Amino acid sequence: MYDEMLPSPTDVPPAPRVQVQSPSQPQPLPSKRELILCRALALFAERGYNGVGVEELATAAGVTKPTLYHYFGSKQGVLEALLREQFDPFLEDLAGAATYEGDLQRALSQVIRVVFDFGTAKPLLYWMVLGAELTAHDDRATRILSERLDRERALVVELFDRATQDQGAIRGKQRLAAETLIAMMTIHLRLAAHGEITLDDTAILYLIRHLIYGIYS
């Protein structure tokens, strides 16, 4: 039964072309606001939100504390802006990719590609948000991060929920399938970060095949 579900290499859409700017083009200098967000991401990813103080963050960005407060109001405001501007667009892309229209293979390949592209383009942000599940802190900042993870997870669960209408073997396994997919994507991203694998169409095909074997076995 599950043999019919196994994707062929042609089922995986080709990777989108990336426009590369010419190195001769001058790049505009980042604004103070952008510098604060950039330094905040690096520090939060390295030591965690609670391990970074406002004074240190302002100094790293080359601004004063009043300047930081002017743009963001607080350290939490920096975190919220960072997620709103850089993580939430990923969630929007994921929501579009997780649309089920009768072809589970295609929907899965779209979801995996969006996650791989984001995790590769913004690794510090990806792992910082993912790390919220591992922290012992129970504060507002941790909850803000966890909310993003919950939204990501909910989108994947909803995809499998919709697929049950014509994929009966998934019924009752939607949550398990979603958690398995997320875990497999995370493992692939970690291996890719260490240079052990390449996140190409072959990797996507491999992941889908193993996921579908698990669902239908």
The model's pLDDT over 197-217, given as tens digits with 9 standing for 90+, comes to 999 999 999 999 999 887 776
What is the predicted pLDDT for the residue at 170? 86
What is the predicted pLDDT for the residue at 22? 53
Residues 32, 34, 35, 39: what is their CA dihedral angle, to the nearest 10 degrees?
140
Residue 4 has pLDDT above 50, yes or no: no
Q: Write out the CATH class of domain 29-216.
A: mainly alpha
Percent of the chain scored above 70 by pLDDT? 86
Supply the pTM of this predicted model.
Answer: 0.83
What is the predicted pLDDT for the residue at 24? 59
DSSP 75-110: HHHHHHHHIIIIIHHHHHHHHHHT--SS-HHHHHHH
* Confidence class for position 12, pLDDT limits 50, 70, 90: very low
Exposure string over 24-59, b if 16+ CB within 10 A, otherwise e: eeeeeeeeebeebbebbbebbbeebbeebeeeebbe
What is the predicted pLDDT for the residue at 168? 81
What is the predicted pLDDT for the residue at 28? 73
Burial of 183 (0-12, 13-18, 19+ CB in 10 A): exposed
Residue 18 has pLDDT above 70, yes or no: no
CA distance 21 to 15: 19
Q: Mean pLDDT across the stretch 48-59?
A: 94
Q: Where are the domains of the chain?
A: 29-216
